[in-house]
Structure 1
Amino acid sequence: MGSSIAIVTDSTAHLQPGAEEACGVTVVPLQVVIDDEVYDEGSPEATPAKVAEALREKRAVSTSRPPPAVFSDLYEKLAADGATEIISIHLSAEVSGTFESAVVASRNAPVPVTCIDTRQVGIAIGYAVESAAAVLEAGGTAAAAAEAARTRAAAATSLFYVDTLEYLRRGGRVGGAAAVFGGALAVKPLLGIVDGVIAPRAKVRTSGKAIARLEAMAIEAAGDHFVELCVAHLEAEDRAAALAERLADRLGEQLVPTRDGRRVRRMEFGGVLGAHVGPGMLAVCVAPLT
């Protein structure tokens, strides 16, 4: 990276392929817990397919944050390797204790650590990380990189379609959606990240109408900006591919290509987020360039 400032993030950021190495970012895994067995996100035992299977079988599936000691050890290692400052960029403190763990560890770190609560989940965090890395690559300060990450995260729109609220309700992550939808779990909910919390954005009766509304909301979020855009899913590959194609056609030249040249990034959610949204989930992240 050409900088003595290190960047740390967590596995829910879902960085673009190659970004971790290109941007010099260290990723701390969250954990997926299946029947009391604890696995790092990204491990063979906690693939999206295995998490989805466990959910369908109604096995006990939960998630866990990294403890402060993990961050403490990492901050010490990065300092020993030559880092003079660290920027630690994480998912919303409203839905995970990961940010809190980073803050606790930062207090006794051997070098200054700036901890950032992006108030986002998923790919929006990755875009914030890449914006911070770009500032450092251009010779910017840690303060400027941290501000770039906060600004990019705040500008992003994260939208979700889930087949059922049941998995979010089980994990206690449903937030304000519970008050709106109550027990009407047959409703096809459209959710978003609002002030760091998973909250309702629309209430739709059929999956087809819900996905069409998701597409319309993504177009609205893009406005007339140049944007990076990602469509994510959990065991809904065909739906995700079709949605990505429609969005690519509609947004055209507004789309900033991915690292591998595609106009719309498409990916499957990892085990941690997948554990809370369940099979059939579709998500869109629209991240304007700032």
Structure 2
Amino acid sequence: MTTESSPRPTVAVVTDSATGLSRAMAESLSVGGGFLRVPLPLMVGDQIFTEIDDPGVNEKLVVASAEGRRMTTSRPSPGAFATAYESLAKEGYEHIVSVHLSSELSGTVDAARASARGAAATVSVIDTRTVAMAEGMAVIAALDAARAGGGPAEVEAAAGNAARRARLLFYVPTLEALARSGRIPKSLAIVGQMFQIRPIATVAQGRLKYLERPRQEASAVKRLGELVAADARQALEEDRTTVGESGRVVVAIQDFYGSSLADHLSDVVAKEFGGDAIIQRSTVPPVLAVHAGLGPVSVVCEPASLVHGLTSTVA
């Protein structure tokens, strides 16, 4: 964070709403200035919503899902990015680092690059090759570097490092929504339903990748808890290698109407790591819930020293 005696940062950070930053966290991160989010539009039938502007969008998606209505997502328009970049340039920022979800999952990076070419400030567009709070960790690391007085290269490097070191796990209770959105073949969803498969996935090389396919919910929950603990342990060891015994791990848990599983995972982490873990809770981004349906849970583990801006808001 900057102080009155600190030089004003010259680098700003822009991101999209696929991070799933909670409203409180986004507001906290915005206090220092030089930070904007561009919403990803959601289409329910012929209606368009944005999860940033519409606090009731989650309920709308639940109703639409129950009614079997068509739901899709879209990348932001280049104009939305142009507006964000122009606003920050007018505030005096000389460079903007625009940090976004994987280009393998969305055209958001392309839209950002199209707007960057005509921006008043210079713009670097970062493809994090990930999503949800793994992307969010990159955003927070970039903000930390910018507010510490870092130049464009340092801010870009901070974002890239945090994105690479974030460990993302994603639990999908049913494959039906993924098939409906075209993310997986319908035949796979039918097989998954027959055998009660509850996949555990991650994002690798920018794309959704299934790690394991346990059968039955109880088996999946148990295995997911084991994988989360292992990821948290590795991130904690990395942080202690960097900062010594004071090192900690940030565990960001997001759910979309899957709070019982999210609560269980939070308890698993708290029991094993105690004060060495900083647990942060928020909602799976609605733009992901459109494709994953009701009940998905994501967990991201990150060495705490990489995301000071996050630890200062929740510690």
TM-score normalised by L of structure 2: 0.83
Partner residue in 2 for 1:259: none
Q: Of the candidates 113, 120, 128, which is equivalent to residue 123 of structure 2?
A: 113
Task: Tell me whether 207-216 or 20-29 shows the greater mean CA deviation.
Answer: 20-29
Q: Which of 191, 198, 206 matches 1:188?
A: 198
**Structure 1, residues 53-106: CA drift from partner, whole Å, max 9, x if none?**
312321111111101121122212221221111000000100011111001111
The one-letter code matched in structure 2 to 1:84 is: E
**Greater Cα offset, 126-135 or 182-191:** 182-191
Q: Please give the alpha-carbon distance, in whole angstroms, between the structure 2 residues aligned to 1:23 and 1:202.
A: 41
**Per-residue Cα deviation, 1:88-141 (whole angstroms, up to 9, x for no partner):** 000010001111100111112122101000011111111111111111222211
The yes-or-no answer on 1:282 pairing with 2:289 is no
Question: Which residue of structure 1 aligns with residue 262 of structure 2?
Answer: 240
State the Cα distance separating 1:45 from its structure 2 match. Answer: 7.0
Shift of 1:31: 0.8
8 Å contact kept, 1:244–1:264 = yes
CA RMSD of aligned residues (A): 2.0
- Is the 2:15–2:37 contact (alpha carbons within 8 Å) kept by the matching residues of 1? yes
Name the CA distance, whole Å, in 1 between partners of 2:59 and 2:230.
32
Write out aligned runs for 1:57-76 (5 A): 57-76=67-86
In 2, the alpha carbon distance for the partners of 1:94 and 1:68 equals: 18
Partner of 1:147: 157
* Displacement after TM superposition at 1:169 (Å): 2.2
Which shows bigger deviation, 144-153 or 265-274? 265-274
Deviations 1:170-206 (A, max 9, x none): 22334xxx59957422211111111110110101101
| TM score, norm. by length of structure 1 | 0.90
Aligned residue in 2 for 1:199: 209
Say whether the 8 Å CA contact 1:48–1:269 is kept in structure 2.
no
Give the distance between the partners of 2:121 and 2:53, measured in 1 at CA: 30
Structure 1 residues 51 and 4: CA distance shift in structure 2, 3 A: same
Q: Which runs of 5+ in 2 are unaligned?
A: 3-7, 239-247, 307-315
Distance 2:100 2:76 in 1: 12
Q: Distance in 2 between matches of 1:109 and 1:44?
A: 28
Conservation of the 8 A alpha-carbon contact between 2:284 and 2:297: no
Aligned twin of 1:228: 250
Q: Does 1:209 align with 2:219?
A: yes
User: Aligned letter for 1:21?
Assistant: S
Describe the SS at the equivalent of 2:9.
coil
| Alpha-carbon distance between aligned partners in 1 of 2:101 and 2:226, rounded to the nearest angstrom | 26
| Number of equivalences | 280
Q: Which structure shows the higher helix fraction?
A: 2
Which residue is equivalent to 1:99? Answer: 109
The equivalent of 1:271 in structure 2 is 286
Contact 1:94 1:197 in 2 (8 A): yes
1:30, CA displacement in angstroms? Answer: 0.5
Matched, 1:52 2:96: no
Q: 1:11 aligns with which of 3, 17, 21?
A: 17
**TM-aligned CA deviation for residue 245 of structure 1:** 1.4
